[in-house]
Amino acid sequence: MTLHRYMEIKCPNCSAEDEALVWDTINAQVNPEAKTALLNGKTNLFVCPRCRTASFIDRPLLYHDMQIGYMAWYFPFSLVKSGKILDWIDPGGQIRGIENCPGCDYAPGTHYVFDMDELVRYIKFRDALAEDMRHGPG
Ligand SMILES: [Zn+2]
């Protein structure tokens, strides 16, 4: 499952508008190039066509690695402060509607982060663990 779309974004610097590619979900196996962009800090970035200001499009971003078997979800912390996070996560800390996701048996262990840098660090951490598993101890 990889979801992305074009959205009209307004430049915070000069108010010019343009369409930008926005990712909601990145699947490491389906879109490895999107994973690379994420690790390089290039995901959900709007570059203004008029003044060239780059700004981050602050939206939830779910990262899904089917091979290692985990999900990590970035949420803007404003969703927590406003209580809107409850639209996504139930009071027990689980993803709402996950029972409708066949094959998502590791979803209850989804790691939530509130910082894009932390999302990148967490992905690199899990990649490092998986790498070590492949090579065995030593
Ligand atoms: Zn601009």
Separation between Cα atoms, residue 46 and residue 130, nearest integer Å: 32
Domain ranges of the chain: 3-135
Ligand 1 center–CA 130 separation, angstroms: 41
Residue 120: CB atoms within 10 A of its CB come to 19
**59: which residues sit within 8 A by CB, 6+ positions away?**
22, 24, 44, 76
pLDDT of residue 109: 87
Ligand 1 center–CA 9 separation, angstroms: 10
Kindly indicate the confidence band of residue 97, based on its pLDDT and cuts at 50, 70 and 90: confident
Ligand 1 center–CA 54 separation, angstroms: 8
pLDDT per residue as tens digits for the range 50-64: 999 999 999 999 999
* Contact (Cβ atoms closer than 8 angstroms) between residue 26 and residue 43: yes
